[in-house]
Amino acid sequence: MPSPQAPPLGNRAVDPTAVRPPLDDATIERIEPAQLHARLAALRADGFTVLLDLGAVDYLDRRPRFDVIYHLLKLPLDATTPQKAGRPPRMRLLCGVDEGVKLQTATDLWPSADWAEREVFDLFGIIFEGHPDLRRIQMPNDWEGYPLRKDYPLRGPALEKTPRPEFALKSNLVAGTPASGKTAAALAKQIAKARGQSGA
């Protein structure tokens, strides 16, 4: 269920590559998942030494649903002064990925892709084949769902999954304000409820 605060869905999720105004310094290229790794390797060999960023966008109703975006920077090793560095060329690769399609990892080309790919996996559920250690990075390991997908609600699951330890519940009971019956009753009720959940 999309959250009520989410932007309107449906056909409004446009593909920006179709309408993009000429805004950027970067060279922009769209690429198919099958050719992605070969193209990245070619660019790496061509002197794109830095994989500046790797992110994803969920277009929800579009096919393919996701875009994975690679920002590359051609920064030579001998750029020892700002003059020598100049304006290093930027490159942006957009790769459309549908649900269930796996991408090949870029960690063999740039080690920095490691955490970036883990984050895309964690928050969008896109799988990178050949990644040495593809597991959640921001969310807890037992989290369900992919929070940055557009159909994931803003507030997340209604119940907190992490059970509170027993002593924390007990200390609440003692440290609360039991004298006025109302608060104590409410507190006891809350604790009983929490216990019921944590015991389940």
Partner 1 sequence: MALNVEQSGNSMILSLGPQHPSTHGVLQVLTQIEGETIVRADPEIGYLHTGIEKSAENLFWTQASTVIERMDYLSPLTNALCYILAVEKLLGVTDRIPERAQQLRVMLSELSRIASHCVWLGTGGIDLGAISPFFYAFDLRENILDLFEVSGGARMHPNYLRIGGLREDIPQGFLDRLDELIAKFPGRMRDLRKLLQNNPILQDRMVDVAILEPADALAWNITGPSLRASGIAYDVRKAYPYSGYEQYDFDVPTRTEGDAYARFLVRLDEMEQAMRIVEQARRKLVGGSVMIDDTKIAPPPKETIALSMEALIHHFKLVSESFRVPPGDVYQAVEGPRGELGYYLVSNGDNRPWRVRTRPPSMYNLQVLKKLAIGELIADMVVCIGSLDPVFGEVDR
Q: Are 153 and 4 in contact (CB under 8 A)?
A: no
Nearest approach, Cβ of 196 to partner 1 (angstroms)? Answer: 28
Neighbours of 78 (CB within 10 A): 7
- What is the contact mask toward partner 1 in residues 134 to 173, using x (rule: CB under 8 A)? -xxxxxx------xx---x-x-x-----------------
Contact call for residues 110 and 129 (beta carbons, < 8 A): no
Q: Name every residue whose Cβ is closer than 8 Å to that of residue 87 and which is 6 or more positions away in sequence.
A: 25
Q: For the CB of residue 164, give the shortest distance to partner 1 in the complex, in Å.
A: 18
Compute the least distance from the CB of residue 136 to partner 1, in Å.
Answer: 8
Q: Is 14 in the site for partner 1 (CB under 8 A)?
A: yes
CA dist 4 and 16 (Å) reads: 24
Q: 78 vs 174, which CB is nearer to partner 1?
A: 78
**Taking CA 131 as the corner, what is the angle to CA 129 and CA 137, rounded to the nearest 5 degrees?**
115
Token pair 């003692």 in the structure block, residue: 174
- Identified binder of partner 1 from the candidate list 1, 45, 63, 84, rule CB under 8 A: 84
195 binds partner 1 (CB under 8 A): no
Strand runs labelled E in 4-58: 27-31, 50-58
Count of residues of this chain found to bind partner 1 when the rule CB under 8 A is applied: 59
Which residues lie near partner 1 (CB under 8 A)? Answer: 3, 5-8, 12-14, 16-17, 19-21, 23-26, 49-53, 55-58, 69, 71, 75, 77, 79-82, 84-88, 90, 92, 110-112, 114-116, 133, 135-140, 147-148, 152, 154, 156
